[in-house]
């Protein structure tokens, strides 16, 4: 039996009320949306807020809207189940629906939200454990301790970013909108994450993610998206590796753009470098996919922040990349 | 922070219920220790196993990680609300007939997930059943008899077989 620490619960009905509550309670408050990440962490004693400010009552965080030419606007409060089943998302960016569908099991997708997935706390073998377990090891850098047990120097927290929708959203060039008592701002999701496992987001603790926008496709181009995931048990486990791809093709079926983002390794999702260049001006082919899989393999270095063997996870990088690339093709075009 | 108590009003299995519970209670703790509805089980208690699955507005969620206040104003359905001893739900009859429960600890959660599936899709295939139950762990049965029972209950509900 895992008890929650005592807290008071608030369910405001408007965003400005929520922001007032967050300002009034400051560091003693935390935001709760679906609660599927926060509540287990609170049960493990990782957070002990005096106040929870729920976003469930906020109508302005709901809804998915298809915009012209493959654009999308999604409220941060839509559930992952809603994203996975949305006709608008399936039409404009099917990999976003697939990524949402690839998160956990049905019960968790019915509660967890898209905004919550973007703000998911980083995860580590030495962190997501009970108070009893963590105390036995003398705690860790991320919570109550002063050294990281994963790396040799132990001075930087490398808890893994473990959410599935950000790689797809980053590959698509999506943006998110934030609201706080100080005002509103918009940010590219690729700029949202930082390489520090203790707190890996540029979001302030009292900032609420309100909406996510996927950009439209340029005239004359076609966009394809893909999501791939490695995990031990399909419906329970967080990703050992999660990747999002977006590719743009011209009428002839030639690649004019390719973005690949991987996560589950370090503390933030990472754009693969010198990746899209391999494909520019090329037609989609088995040789191209093999070259892309090799490039991903060279750039991904799993750490011992997961209990699963890093060597095996490294060996699985090109396997998952190949399977994910296969979702993008074949691409027909005028000869 | 000191424990604060609230009177929580919930609509559970069609009844308006009220319980005085600590404000940090989960929906599962309120059901079991505030309202005496012990059908929903406390398994892992951290959102992994699915034994605490209940329906909120008809959708399966994990009551062990749902703050009780999140359920206010919504329709809560637990295994006790699916059927009565003299009028069991077709799923309950099918689980009995097929031996789909062994130790029985996962069964209430599996019945709730299955009931939501049949309400949404009266004619599911094996893949849909497996998918709908992918968040419910069973360590006894190996799932085969559970899938058989759910598919049978779907046939019965469509009027295509004896319960």
Domain hosting residue A166, numbered range? 60-119+160-214
Q: Which of A35, A54, A236 sits opposite B65 (nearest CB)?
A: A35
Q: pLDDT tens across B13-28, in order? A: 999 999 999 999 999 9
Last residue of a domain, one of A170, A187, A214: A214
CA–CA dist A256, A333 (Å, integer):
13
ipTM: 0.96
pLDDT tens digit sequence for A194-251: 999 999 999 999 999 999 999 999 999 999 999 999 999 888 889 999 999 999 999 9
Specify the pLDDT at position B162.
Answer: 72
User: A44, B46: Cβ pair inside 8 Å?
Assistant: yes
In a shared domain, residues A178 and A237:
no
Average pLDDT of span B137-147: 96
Which SS3 state, helix, strand or coil, does residue A224 take? strand
In a domain? residue A20: no
Measure the CA–CA gap between B101 and B140, rounded to whole angstroms.
8
**Whole-angstrom distance, CA of residue B97 vs CA of residue A233:** 30
Q: Check B65 against A11: CB less than 8 A apart.
A: no
Instruction: Tell me which residue of A223, A224, A173 sits closest to A328, measured CA to CA.
Output: A224
Domains of chain B, start order: 5-81 (3.10.20.30), 90-157 (1.10.150.120)
Between chains, do A1 and B113 touch, taking CB under 8 Å as contact?
Answer: no
* Contact in structure between B72 and B57 (CB atoms under 8 Å): no
Residue A135 lies in a domain: no
Cα dist. A148→A133, A198, A285, B38, B57 in Å? 15, 11, 43, 42, 43
Looking at the fold, whether A321 and A241 belong to one and the same domain comes out as yes
User: Residues A324, A113, A191, CA angle at the centre, nearest 5°?
Assistant: 65
Please state, for a pLDDT cut of 70, what percent of chain B lies above it.
99
Q: Which of A266, A257, A29, A236 is nearest to A124 (CA)?
A: A266
Dist CA A119 CA A204 (whole Å): 11
A334 domain-assigned: no
CB A81 within 8 A of CB A36: no
pTM given for the model: 0.96
User: Which chain A positions have a beta carbon within 8 Å of B38's beta carbon?
Assistant: none
pLDDT in tens, A95-147: 999 999 999 999 999 999 999 999 999 999 999 999 999 999 999 999 999 99
Q: Give the closest-approach CA distance of A232 to chain B in angstroms.
A: 13
**Per the structure, how many domains does chain A have?**
2
Q: Is A40 inside a domain boundary?
A: no
Least Cα distance to B24 among B65, B76, B55 occurs for: B65
Which chain B residue has the Cα nearest residue A128? B46
Do residue A236 and residue A209 come from a single domain?
no
Query: Which chain B residues touch A29 with a CB distance below 8 Å?
Result: none
Q: Inter-chain contact A81–B24, Cβ cutoff 8 Å?
A: no
Q: Look at residue A335 in the predicted model and tell me its pLDDT.
A: 45
Q: Are residues A191 and A64 in the same domain?
A: yes
Cβ <8 Å between B135 and A2? no
List the single best residue of B3, B22, B61, B138 to mutate versus A (max A Cβ within 10 A).
Answer: B61
Contact A35 B67 (CB under 8 A): yes
């Amino acid at each position: 039996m895992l008890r929650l620490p005592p807290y008071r619960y608030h369910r405001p009905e408007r965003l400005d009320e929520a922001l007032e509550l967050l300002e009034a309670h400051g560091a003693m408050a935390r935001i709760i949306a679906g609660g599927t990440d926060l509540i287990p962490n609170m049960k493990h004693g990782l957070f002990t807020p005096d106040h929870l400010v729920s976003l469930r009552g906020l109508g302005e965080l709901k809804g998915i809207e298809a915009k012209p030419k493959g654009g999308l606007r999604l409220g941060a409060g839509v559930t992952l189940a809603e994203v996975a089943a949305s006709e608008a998302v399936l039409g404009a960016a099917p990999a976003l629906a697939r990524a949402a569908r690839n998160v956990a099991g049905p019960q968790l997708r019915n509660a967890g939200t898209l905004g919550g997935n973007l703000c998911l706390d980083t995860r580590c073998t030495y962190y997501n454990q009970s108070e009893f377990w963590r105390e036995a090891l003398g705690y860790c850098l991320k919570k109550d301790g002063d050294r990281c047990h994963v790396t040799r120097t132990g001075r930087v927290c490398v808890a893994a970013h473990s959410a599935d929708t950000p790689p797809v959203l980053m590959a698509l060039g999506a943006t998110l909108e934030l609201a706080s008592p100080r005002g509103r701002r918009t940010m590219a999701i690729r700029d949202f994450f930082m390489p520090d496992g203790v707190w890996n987001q540029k979001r302030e603790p009292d900032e609420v993610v309100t909406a996510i926008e996927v950009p439209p496709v340029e005239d004359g181009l076609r966009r394809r998206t893909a999501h791939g995931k490695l995990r031990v048990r399909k419906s329970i486990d967080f990703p050992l590796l999660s990747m999002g791809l977006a590719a743009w093709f011209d009428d002839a079926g030639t690649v004019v753009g390719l973005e690949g983002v991987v996560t589950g390794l370090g503390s933030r999702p990472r754009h693969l470098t010198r990746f899209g260049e391999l494909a520019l001006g090329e037609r989609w082919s088995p040789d191209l996919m093999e070259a892309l899989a090799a490039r991903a393999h060279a750039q991904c270095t799993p750490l011992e922040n997961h209990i699963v063997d890093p060597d095996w996870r490294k060996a699985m990088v090109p396997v998952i990349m190949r399977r994910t690339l296969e979702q993008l093709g074949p691409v027909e075009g005028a000869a | 922070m000191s424990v604060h108590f609230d009177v929580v009003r919930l609509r559970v299995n069609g009844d308006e219920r009220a319980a005085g519970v600590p404000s940090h209670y989960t929906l599962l703790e309120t059901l079991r220790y505030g309202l005496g509805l012990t059908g929903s089980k406390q398994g892992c208690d951290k959102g992994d196993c699915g034994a605490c699955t209940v329906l909120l507005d008809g959708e399966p969620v994990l009551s062990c990680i749902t703050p009780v206040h999140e359920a206010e104003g919504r329709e809560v359905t637990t295994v006790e609300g699916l059927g009565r001893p003299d009028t069991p739900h077709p799923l309950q009859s099918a689980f009995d007939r097929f031996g789909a429960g062994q130790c029985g600890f996962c069964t209430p959660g599996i019945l709730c997930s299955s009931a939501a599936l049949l309400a949404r899709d009266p004619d599911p295939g094996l893949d849909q059943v497996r998918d709908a139950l992918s968040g419910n762990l069973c360590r006894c049965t190996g799932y085969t008899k559970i899938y058989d029972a759910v598919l049978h209950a779907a046939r019965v509900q469509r009027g295509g077989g004896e319960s």
